[in-house]
Every structure is written in structure tokens, then in C-alpha cells.
Amino acid sequence: MYTLSSKLKLTAIIFMIVGAIGLIYGFIAAPETIEDVKEMMASEHHGEEHAAVEPSEINVEQLPGEGVSREHAQEIQEEHAAETAHGEEASHEDEHYEHVLHQLQNKPWSALYVAAFFFFMISLGVLAFYAIQYAAQAGWSPVLFRVMEAITAYLLPGGIIVFVLLMLSGFHINHLFIWMDPEVVAHDEIIQAKTSYLNVPFFLIRAAIYLGGWILFRHLLRKNSLKMDDATDNTYFKKNFKLAAGFLVFFIVTESMMSWDWIMSLDPHWFSTLFGWFVFASLFVSGITTIAIISIYLKSRGYLEFVNDSHIHDLAKFMFGISIFWTYLWFSQFMLIWYSNIPEEVVYFISRMEDYPVLFWGMLVTNFIFPVLLLMNSDYKRVNWFVIMTGIVILCGHYINVFVLVMPATVGESWFIGIPEISAVLLFAGLFLFVVFNALTKAPLLVKGNPFIKESKHYHY
């Protein structure tokens, strides 16, 4: 049996308290009126007031025919000059400040949403991995089942938090989803055409179905797994096998819809067909990485006596492979849109490339180049600190991935990884650690009665 060390408990609680304080600060510091925004912007960048009036930068090089584009840029500038001359400046500026105000008000909410979703998706990814291990009758992984089960314990509290956040959006406490704002919808024909799918009651019902289904499957799988410990035959294993297969069918449908609902609908004018897979790859690799990190930690404390280097090697192989899979999907989505360059699709990437260049391209380094180069060598996959180091980089990279998926739609160019963002991560990291390690104390760390457990104990690659 695992006993929760008081140090770990204290760390988790400190994380939660510091995170909560930082988040409260983030909500207090968010501006409430346009005047606050004006004050903030005046104190932040003096001399840059022109930035708002100047025509948005046009990349002359990218347009065909330099002369034409220069002329065009000139025209825009003249138009703007004319506008300001006509005395429309005030209303124009107010509109701009209102825009910034909404972004800044969204900032702490988005920070909370990104972190809540990120930790929730880790446990969801682990549940998918766990179900695949059952359905595939994997012989190597049963010694890791209790670790996976413990990580999926976060599904219940994490899911409730995500659901509460979605409800708050639905009740107009925040403005993360613009299609929930009736005023926006009234002037927006594109969203109007989608209201049969994108409406608050149906949205919340769908969310409840996904979450309820996942939590129910997790509950049943765990219950059978615990019963299997005292079982004399394979009844519970067979039950879990069927449950896992059923879960995987349910999961791939609901996960796809979840990614449309919770992430893609943040940009209701944009859609992409492989989006569900893309989010799946992200949550799957984060989940596997978390299994590896927690297993190595527990092993270093002497709790997982049957986990050997070969098990870690296998997990590292999965981290390596699914990182490449994620990149494949990322690139497939990006390249298809970049290549055809259809205006209604490409705005999605233009806003990300222009406002989030470091994060947008940096996540390719953390999520692809780094794991590929470090985990390619077979020997390195057995070096525990190598796996931990790469794992931490992968997790940071996938946090950035979720960040870049959510933030451009909610806060746009007003993003910053500051106090609210870091605090939200700390808050949920603390909660995650607390829930997961608490769940580890609830059952012995080695499953019994699993027909593959002997093979798994002697697993050698």
C-alpha cells in the first residue's frame, strides 16, 4: 500500500493556496470599465497610442506585385487619415477600448479554463490509454494499472470543475464563448446558422453526457479492477474487457464532439475536420507522459517493485510515437489551410502566427523536435531522468498547445503568461497531485487476479 507522504500533501496544498490567491488577484486586477483600460494602457505604453490608429501592418513581401501592395497600403493609410479628420476618432477609439476591455476581462477566465481543461485532459488521456490496454489485452502494462487508475481519479473533480466553468459561461458570467452572447448572435449570420447545434442548453446537455459517460465508465472499470483482486476466475477481467471496448467506441465519438464544443466553438466562424483527432493526440500524449512521470517517481520511492526499465522503455516509446502523431496532425491541419489559403479558414492561423509567434512555433520544438531527438535512442528511453526531463517538456508543450487553441479566441493579442495563468496552473496542479496521490493510497499498487499480471511482472524488452 502506498502512503501519502506529508511533504507531497503539503506541496499540493501550498500549490492550491498560492494558485487560488494568484487567481483571485487576477480577477481583481482585471479592468471593469473602459476607463480602467485607458488608464492601464496609458501607464503601460506611453507613446504607443498611435498603434491603434495605424493601419494594421501589411507584409508587403507576401503580396503578389510589390508596387500594387504598396499603393494599397497607402490607400488604407489615407483612408484612416480621412476618417480621423472627419472626427470619428472618438467613437473609433472607444470601440477599440471596449474590444480590449473584453479581452482583458476574459484573461483570468481563460487562464482558469485552459488550466482546468489541461489537467482534465491528462486524466482523460490516461483513461483512454487504460482502456486500450484492456481492449488490446496488453501483456506488459498490468503492473502499471493502479497508477493509471489513480490518475483517472481526477476525472470526477476535474470534470465537475470544467462543467461548472462551462455553466458559468452559459449563464453569461464570462464571455469565453461569443456564440453564447445573444447580442453577438443577433448580428452574426454565420453563428445564427449554427444555433441549432451551438445553443446553451444543448451545449450543457452534451457536456453532461460526455462527462457523465466518461466518469461512469471510469467508475465501473475501477470497481471491477478492485473486485478482480479477490476474484478466483476471470469474470471481472472479461467484464472490464467488454467495458473497455465499449468505452473506446463511446470515447472516440464524444471526444471528437467535446473538442468541437469546448475548444473549436471558441472560434465559431472556423472549423476543421481533423480537430477532434488533433485534440485527442494532445490529451493522449500528455496522459502517457504523466503515467511515465508518476511511475518513475513511485518507483524511485520503492513502491513499484515490479516495474522495470522495460516498462519505462515502453512508455517512453509511446511518448515518442504519439508526439510524432500529434505533430503529424498539427502539420496536416496547418499545411492544408496554409496551402489553400482560403480566407475564412486561414484567419485562424494568421491570428495565431501574428499574435503568438513564439508559442505557436515554440510548441513544435517542445512537442516534436525535443522528444524526437531525445527519445530516439533506445538506451535513453531507459534512463529515468531523461524520460522525466523530456516528459516535463512535453507536458509544458501541450499546455502551450491548449493555450494557443483557446487564448487567441478569448483574449486575442492581449495575452500574457503572467500571474493569472501561472496561478491557474498551480491551482490545478496542486489539486491534481492531491487527488491522484490520494487515490493511490486507496488500493494496493499491484493488481491481482489479472490474467496477464505474471507476464507483466516478467516483462522484458
Partner 1 sequence: MSSKVIQAMYNDDDILMDAVKEVRAANHHIEEVYTPFPVHGLDKAMGLKGTRIAITAFLYGCVGFSFSIWMMNYMMIEQWPQDIGGKPSFTFFQNMPAFVPIMFEMSVFFAAHLMVITFYMRSRLWPFKEAENPDPRTTDDMFVMEVAVDENEQELVSFLENTGTVEIKVTEK
Instruction: Tell me phi and psi for residue 56, to 5 degrees.
Output: -60, 140
CA distance 367 to 326: 8
DSSP for residue 55: P
Q: Which is nearer to partner 1, 10 or 376 (CB)?
A: 376
Other CB atoms within a 10 A radius of the CB of residue 231 amount to: 14
Instruction: Pick out residues in 327-346 that bind partner 1 (CB under 8 A).
Output: 331, 334-335, 338-339, 341
Instruction: Pick out residues in 42-61 that bind partner 1 (CB under 8 A).
Output: 61
Q: Residue 186: CB partners within 8 Å, gap ≥ 6? A: none
- Binding of residue 64 to partner 1 (CB under 8 A): yes
Instruction: Pick out residues in 216-245 that bind partner 1 (CB under 8 A).
Output: none
Minimum distance between the CB of residue 200 and partner 1, rounded to whole angstroms? 38
Minimum distance between the CB of residue 341 and partner 1, rounded to whole angstroms? 7
Tell me the C-alpha to C-alpha distance, in Å, between residue 15 and each of 12, 91, 258, 293, 436: 5, 44, 29, 19, 15
Q: What is the 3-state secondary structure (H, E, C) of the chain?
A: CCCCCHHHHHHHHHHHHHHHHHHHHHHHHCCCCHHHHHHHHHHHCCCCCHHHHCCCCCCHHHCCCHHHHHHHHHHHHHHHHHHHHCCCHHHHHHHHHHHHHHHHHHHHHHHHHHHHHHHHHHHHHHHHHHHHHHHCCCCCCHHHHHHHHHHHCCHHHHHHHHHHHHHHHHCCCCCCCHHHCHHHHHCCHHHHCCCCCCCHHHHHHHHHHHHHHHHHHHHHHHHHHHHHCCCCCCHHHHHHHHHHHHHHHHHHHHHHHHHHHHCHHHCCCCCCCCHHHHHHHHHHHHHHHHHHHHHHHHHHCCCCCCCCHHHHHHHHHHHHHHHHHHHHHHHHHHHHHHHHCCHHHHHHHHHHHHHCHHHHHHHHHHHHHHHHHHHCCCCHHHCHHHHHHHHHHHHHHHHHHHHHHHHHHHCHHHCCCCHHHHHHHHHHHHHHHHHHHHHHCCCCCCCCCCCCHHHHHCCCC
Among 378, 416, 454, 458, binds partner 1 (CB under 8 A): 378
Q: Which is nearer to partner 1, 61 or 189 (CB)?
A: 61
Q: Which is nearer to partner 1, 47 or 64 (CB)?
A: 64
Minimum distance between the CB of residue 409 and partner 1, rounded to whole angstroms? 23
Minimum distance between the CB of residue 154 and partner 1, rounded to whole angstroms? 36
Cell numbers found for residue 124: 482523460
Minimum distance between the CB of residue 391 and partner 1, rounded to whole angstroms? 22
Minimum distance between the CB of residue 171 and partner 1, rounded to whole angstroms? 42
- Binding of residue 62 to partner 1 (CB under 8 A): yes
Q: Which is nearer to partner 1, 74 or 378 (CB)?
A: 378
Q: Which is nearer to partner 1, 254 or 272 (CB)?
A: 272
Among 376, 418, 448, 458, binds partner 1 (CB under 8 A): 376
* Number of residues in contact with partner 1 under rule CB under 8 A: 11
Q: Which is nearer to partner 1, 253 or 335 (CB)?
A: 335
- Binding of residue 369 to partner 1 (CB under 8 A): no
Minimum distance between the CB of residue 290 and partner 1, rounded to whole angstroms? 28
Q: Which is nearer to partner 1, 204 or 372 (CB)?
A: 372
Minimum distance between the CB of residue 331 and partner 1, rounded to whole angstroms? 7
Q: Which is nearer to partner 1, 64 or 302 (CB)?
A: 64
Q: Which is nearer to partner 1, 17 or 369 (CB)?
A: 369
CA distance 93 to 52: 8
Minimum distance between the CB of residue 377 and partner 1, rounded to whole angstroms? 8
Minimum distance between the CB of residue 193 and partner 1, rounded to whole angstroms? 30
Minimum distance between the CB of residue 61 and partner 1, rounded to whole angstroms? 6
Q: Which is nearer to partner 1, 43 or 59 (CB)?
A: 59
Q: Which is nearer to partner 1, 58 or 417 (CB)?
A: 58
Binding site for partner 1 (CB under 8 A): 61-62, 64, 331, 334-335, 338-339, 341, 376, 378
